[in-house]
C-alpha cells in the first residue's frame, strides 16, 4: 500500500504525514521554504516539484526507502474533532472551491435533496440556518464513515486517527505528533530537531489557510453547533481521535487538549 499522504523535503530533512484540515498547507510551505528559501507560488497541494510527495510517482521509492529505514525526523499534526468537522462543513460543503465550482460536483445538490442541507445559496453568501444545516451534515458524515453510504467517507472529515494509522501500519514511525491548536510550539520542536538549509522564524511565517474565504463565515461559537445528539455522533465517529490525541469530548467549546500525546500508545493502538 505504501505511504499515501506522505510528503518529504527534497533534502530528506523532514517526513510529514499530511492530515487534511490540520494546517497542512502551512506545514507544506514551511517544508518547501526550509529547502529553497522561498515559498511555493500557489497552493502547496498543487506543487509537482520542490517537495517529494507520495502522489508523485518519481518520489515514491525515495519516500518508501526513507520511511522504512526511519532515516529522517517524521511528524504529523492533529486537530480537535469538533472544530475540524465544522471547518470541513464550511469549506467543503458551503464553500466555492478555488476552481470556481462546488466541491465534488453534485455532492451539495445531493445533500440538499437527501439531508435537507442549506449552504447559503449559489455563492455561499446568503444567510441560512448554519446550526441546523451543520447538524444534518453531521448525520451525512456519520453515514459515510459508519456505513459508507451514500458515498465513501471523504478525506476531509474521515477520522484523523485513520490518516495517522496508515503510515504506522505500513511500517512508518512518528517522532512527533503535535496539535494544530499549539502550532508554533509543536512546529518549533520539529524544526529544532533537524538541520535545514534555510532558517525559519515561525513568528514571521504567514498562515497558508487555503480554505479561508471559500465559504460563509461561522456565525456562532463552536459549542453552539453541538447539542447532545451532535456530540454523541461526533464521539461515535471520532472516539479514537479524542482518546489518542487527548481532546476534551465533554466540552465542544474547549479546543485545547487536556493531556499529552503518548507516542507509544499511538503506535501500539494504530499499528494493528
How many CB atoms sit inside 10 A of residue 180's CB?
21
Would you state the pLDDT for residue 213? Answer: 59
Cell digits for 150?
A: 451514500
In the block, cell 517524521 appears at 74
**176-179 sheet: strands from edge to edge:** 51-53, 6-9, 14-17, 73-78, 176-179
Q: Where are the domains of the chain?
A: 1-97+155-216+238-272
β-strand pairing of 73-78 with 176-179: parallel
- 203 with 111: CB under 8 angstroms? no
- 272 with 161: CB under 8 angstroms? no
Torsion angles phi and psi, residue 151, rounded to 5? -160, 170
CA-to-CA distance for 256 and 197, rounded, in angstroms?
33
- 64 with 2: CB under 8 angstroms? yes
User: Average pLDDT per run of 10 along the chain, which is 272 residues long?
Assistant: 94 97 96 96 94 97 97 98 95 85 88 91 83 96 92 94 97 98 97 95 81 75 97 96 98 97 97 82
Would you state the pLDDT for residue 198? Answer: 95
Residue 242 burial (CB < 10 Å; 0-12/13-18/19+)? buried
In the block, cell 447539542 appears at 227
Amino acid at each position: 500500500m505504501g505511504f499515501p499522504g506522505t510528503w518529504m523535503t527534497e533534502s530528506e530533512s523532514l517526513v510529514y504525514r499530511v492530515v487534511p484540515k490540520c494546517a497542512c498547507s502551512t506545514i507544506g510551505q514551511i517544508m518547501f521554504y526550509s529547502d529553497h528559501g522561498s515559498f511555493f507560488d500557489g497552493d502547496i497541494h498543487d506543487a509537482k516539484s520542490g517537495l517529494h510527495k507520495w502522489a508523485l510517482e518519481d518520489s515514491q521509492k525515495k519516500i518508501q526507502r526513507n520511511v522504512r529505514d526511519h532515516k529522517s525526523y517524521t511528524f504529523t499534526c492533529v486537530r480537535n474533532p469538533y472544530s475540524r468537522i465544522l471547518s470541513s462543513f464550511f469549506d467543503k460543503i458551503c464553500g466555492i472551491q478555488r476552481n470556481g465550482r462546488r466541491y465534488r460536483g453534485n455532492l451539495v445538490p445531493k445533500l440538499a435533496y437527501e439531508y435537507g442541507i442549506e449552504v447559503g445559496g449559489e455563492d455561499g453568501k446568503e444567510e441560512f440556518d448554519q446550526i441546523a444545516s451543520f447538524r444534518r451534515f453531521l448525520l451525512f458524515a456519520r453515514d459515510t464513515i459508519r456505513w459508507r453510504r451514500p458515498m465513501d467517507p471523504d478525506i476531509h472529515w474521515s477520522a484523523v486517527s485513520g490518516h495517522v494509522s496508515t503510515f504506522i501500519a505500513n511500517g512508518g514511525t512518528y517522532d512527533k505528533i503535535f496539535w494544530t491548536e499549539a502550532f508554533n510550539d509543536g512546529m518549533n520542536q520539529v524544526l529544532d530537531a533537524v538541520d535545514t538549509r534555510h532558517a525559519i522564524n515561525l513568528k514571521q511565517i504567514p498562515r497558508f489557510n487555503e480554505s479561508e474565504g471559500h465559504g460563509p463565515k461561522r456565525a456562532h461559537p463552536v459549542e453552539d453547533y453541538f447539542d447532545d445528539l451532535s456530540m454523541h455522533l461526533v464521539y461515535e465517529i471520532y472516539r479514537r481521535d479524542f482518546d489518542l490525541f487527548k481532546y476534551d469530548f465533554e466540552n465542544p467549546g474547549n479546543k485545547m487538549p487536556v493531556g499529552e500525546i503518548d507516542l507509544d500508545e499511538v503506535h501500539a493502538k494504530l499499528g494493528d
